[in-house]
Chain A
Amino acid sequence: METLAFIAESWSLIFSLTLEHISLVSVAVGLAILTGVPIGIAITQNESVAAVVLYAASIIITVPSIALFGLMIPVLSLFGQGIGYLPAVIAVLLYSQLPIIRNTYAAINNVDPALREAARGLGMTPVQRLRLVEIPLAIPVIFAGIRTAVVMNIGVMAIAAYIGAGGLGTLISRGITQTDPRQLIAGALAVSLLAIIADYALLYCQRKLTPKGVSA
């Protein structure tokens, strides 16, 4: 009851923290897409490079987020950015690499070799093959990777409140330090809800973007 009352009276605070959270995750995952998708495509050209890159990305994901923040503080302090926005974005960017690179790599690699051969035989350049055939066919799987990254990192971003990045994690950390279960529960609820909604929203985008003739 108390929690509901708290949510009702701090509605606008929760709303602005949610927006902040969304923008942090969006920027980080957006950058991760811009890097991960091209990396995923590039490593389809060489199996041993692919193995190394995927291994590195899966090591990163095993580092606990708190430890990662701790590692970044001394490095980024050199630029006066040891805590706050930048390390939070970088952490999420790094964590997002594995699902995005792995799914892109697998999706492009799994394009039916007959289709790749038909594309070559018709005289498409490698870039045309990617743009007209391989990427459109890979979209559902790439998007699944992006969804995994977003859902996972909405949680990671909540922890980034400890290094002053802002977002919904602020409510949770304050709830813990002030032993105020109302803030703690409200924050946790908001984070979970956000993850669920984001997942569905992205699923919707995925369906919209998947070429019509390709079954999802």
Chain B
Amino acid sequence: MIQLENLTKIFETPDGVVTAADNINMTVPQGEICVLLGPSGCGKTTTLKMLNRIIPPTSGRVMINGEDTSTLDTISLRRNIGYVIQQIGLFPNMTIAENISIVPRLLGWDKKRYLARAEELLAMVALEPKTFMQRYPRELSGGQQQRVGVIRALAADPPVMLMDEPFGAIDPINREVIQDEFLKMQEELQKTILFVSHDIDEAVKMADKVAIFNAGKLIQFDSPDALLAHPCNKFVEDFVGTDRTLKRLRLAKVADVMTPAPTPVKPDDDLQTALQIMQNNDYVAVTMVDTLGRPIGSITRDLATAKRGRCGDHFYGLRAIARVDDDLRSVASAMFSKDTTWMPCVDDEGIFRGEISQRGVTHYLGATYRSREAQQTGVQHGEV
């Protein structure tokens, strides 16, 4: 767990004092990613660098697992905190393998172990170890260097990571890929991470908590969904963008929103059976699945009322199918592009698991506003 207590940094410059970090208080629980977000010059890097004492705080404290970092030995503190600097900073005089194994070598690992570790890490970020181990940094593209910068910080498996815009030099497509890889890795490693970004989309995707800064002050500290749903002031509202509700679509998975396990029909079932199911459950339509349980069509109430015979002879084809681990943004996108308001949902094997509708999505997005209103009215009643 990382706690910042009244953390302040004041730079004395020839043009006067600059308060780069102004009384920052926040707590990042063990295993979470906290994204520091804000416009250029708002103090993100300064705050980050006070954690490993690259910048000594003017006042206030940084506690890691309850220990005040100013009382610890700075060198060993830094070896236990992975640090990815904004400028990448690979050492040009060392090969990629040497760069990655710096901290393990400083910690006295034997050669076999640190080389194996370097290979493992390169493979993890999709850089072929055979090709890259012996290369020098200048022989790599900016994006490749940045990936090496990230794994160099991970090499000795530190429990805490500080990452200053670690994916800034990577093109959008590969950035998505490496962000996904990183999140998958984080699921396993459960590191406590402070991550600087000025990209709201990256923050929403990566963060358990977002800390929004402006002019050295921490303005809002909240989960991405709460931040997007309830920006605390005009600055945050403008910063997260007018499409903030649409951004929330990325935060929810189909599985969170779908109506789970409605009863489906089979092609051999009679339309009357389908109608019965719809009436009993108050459905407007029912999904038809094949013998393996994969959705192949749908029967609406109108259809079942108007026609006679087997479902397999009178069904509508499917316009789109959602997967349970898709996010709502891709569902909304498919609904718009396929002109549908309803989709069956399948698991990894393609088996029918539930249904998702436009209303369900809207309802899900609206829930947080309703609960906030209820709370506020509740408070008012309480006060009376």
Contact = CB atoms under 8 A, between A and B. Distances in A.
A155 to B, nearest CB: 34
Interface string A105-127: 00000001011011111111100
Given A123-B103, A123-B106, A213 B83 contact: no
Contacts of B153: 122
Nearest to A138: B93
A83 B173 CA distance: 75
B78 A121 contact: yes
A37 interface: no
Contacts of B162: 121
B151 to A, nearest CB: 13
B75 interface: yes
Interface in A121-155: 121-125, 128, 132-133, 136-137
B54 A121 contact: yes
Contacts of B92: 115, 137, 211, 213-214
Interface string B253-294: 000000000000000000000000000000000000000000
Given A121-B85, A122-B106, A133 B93 contact: yes
B196 to A, nearest CB: 14
B88 to A, nearest CB: 8
Contacts of B364: none
Interface string B65-90: 00000000001111100010101111
Contact of A118 (B85, B106, B136, B139): B85
A215 interface: yes
Contacts of A122: 78-79, 83, 102-103, 106, 152-153
B146 interface: no
A212 interface: yes
B78 A120 contact: yes
Interface in A173-216: 211-215
Contacts of A115: 89, 91-92
B363 interface: no
B95 A125 contact: no
B111 interface: no
Given A123-B106, A124-B106, A128-B106, A118 B91 contact: yes
Contacts of A132: 91, 94, 102
A193 B106 CA distance: 47
A194 B139 CA distance: 38
Nearest to B85: A118
Interface in B285-313: none
B47 interface: no
A123 B52 CA distance: 9
B106 A117 contact: no
A2 to B, nearest CB: 54
Contacts of B54: 117, 120-121
A123 B76 contact: yes
B319 interface: no
A213 B102 contact: no
A130 B286 CA distance: 72
Nearest to B149: A118
Contacts of B93: 133, 136-137, 211-214
A122 B158 CA distance: 11
A213 B138 contact: yes
A118 B89 contact: yes
Contacts of B52: 121
B137 interface: yes
A136 B92 CA distance: 10
Contacts of B77: 123
A145 B265 CA distance: 86
Nearest to B135: A213
B58 to A, nearest CB: 19
A117 B89 contact: yes
A6 B201 CA distance: 84
A121 B102 CA distance: 11
B136 A212 contact: yes
Given A123-B75, A123-B76, A215-B138, A117 B85 contact: yes
Nearest to B94: A213
22 contacts: A112-B87, A112-B89, A114-B87, A115-B89, A118-B83, A118-B87, A121-B85, A122-B78, A122-B106, A122-B153, A123-B76, A123-B78, A123-B79, A125-B75, A128-B106, A132-B91, A132-B102, A211-B92, A212-B136, A213-B92, A213-B93, A214-B93
Given A121-B85, A122-B106, A123-B79, 16 more contacts: A117-B85, A119-B91, A120-B54, A121-B52, A121-B83, A121-B162, A122-B79, A123-B103, A124-B75, A125-B75, A132-B102, A136-B93, A137-B91, A212-B136, A213-B137, A213-B138
Q: What are the 4 A-B residue pairs with the smallest beta carbon separation, nearest first?
A: A213-B136, A118-B89, A123-B79, A211-B93
